[in-house]
Structure 1
Amino acid sequence: MKVFTQSVNFNADKDLIKYVEKKANQLVKFHDKIVDAEVFLKVQNTSDKENKIIEIKLNIPGSELIVKRETKTFEEGINLAIDSLKRQLKKSKEKTRDSLIS
């Protein structure tokens, strides 16, 4: 699966990009037809501690799944977003399976 990572308002280091790709590639276990993933890492210029925004858009045939999280660290946000996408992928696959059966 191809993972496109974009950092907004800062330069992401190689370790963070590798982390994003590693986590995103785990989603293939839950849905075998994922086309690609677009990951946006943003830093908001606020005084809030939770100023890191992670947005992941997964393209699957027939739809796209989008998750957005705002957290203190990118790693935490990526983990939360990936967990959320796993649940969405399972639901999506169940819907597909149900529509094939009926």
Structure 2
Amino acid sequence: MNINFEYKDVAASPRLEAMAAEKLNKLEDKYNFIVNADVYFKKENTSESDTGRICEIRLNIPGTTIFAENSNGSFEASLAKVISELRPQLQKRKEKMQAHY
């Protein structure tokens, strides 16, 4: 799986990229139909300390695209939440694909 990282108002972070790649590779092990992933890290100015670090992930799979986004106090927390939001979408897609075989 090819993973593309993009940053907006944030410095590139090898640690965040490694963490995201590890989590996405675990998803790919279970859902082997993932073609590639686009991961976006954004910083938003907000008055609340528990939001403003946004992580978005777009997964390209045959026939469609799956997307999840979350804003949290840290990129790590946002990434974990986005991954947990993607799992049920991937499971649903996998069930649909198996129904066609």
Name the TM-score, length of structure 2 as normaliser: 0.92
What is the match of residue 72 of structure 1?
Answer: 73
Any residues of structure 2 matched to 1:6-25 within 5 Å, and which? 6-25=6-25
Taking the aligned partners of 2:74 and 2:94, their CA distance within structure 1 comes to: 30
Structure 2: 5+ residue stretches without partners: none
Name the TM-score, length of structure 1 as normaliser: 0.91
**Aligned-pair distance for 1:12?**
2.5
Taking the aligned partners of 1:5 and 1:70, their CA distance within structure 2 comes to: 17
> Runs in 1 of length 4+ with deviation above 3 angstroms?
none
For residues 5-24 of structure 1, the C-alpha deviation after alignment (integer angstroms, 9 at most, x for no partner) is 11110102211111111111
User: C-alpha root-mean-square deviation of aligned residues, in Å?
Assistant: 1.1
Taking the aligned partners of 1:89 and 1:5, their CA distance within structure 2 comes to: 20
Identical residues among aligned pairs (%): 32
C-alpha contact 1:30 1:90 (8 A) present in aligned 2: no
Taking the aligned partners of 2:65 and 2:75, their CA distance within structure 1 comes to: 22
**1:92 and 2:80 equivalent?**
no
C-alpha contact 1:4 1:39 (8 A) present in aligned 2: yes
Taking the aligned partners of 2:13 and 2:62, their CA distance within structure 1 comes to: 31
Residues matched between the structures, number: 100
**1:81 and 2:44 equivalent?**
no
**Aligned-pair distance for 1:99?**
3.2
Structure 1: 5+ residue stretches without partners: none
**Aligned-pair distance for 1:69?**
0.5
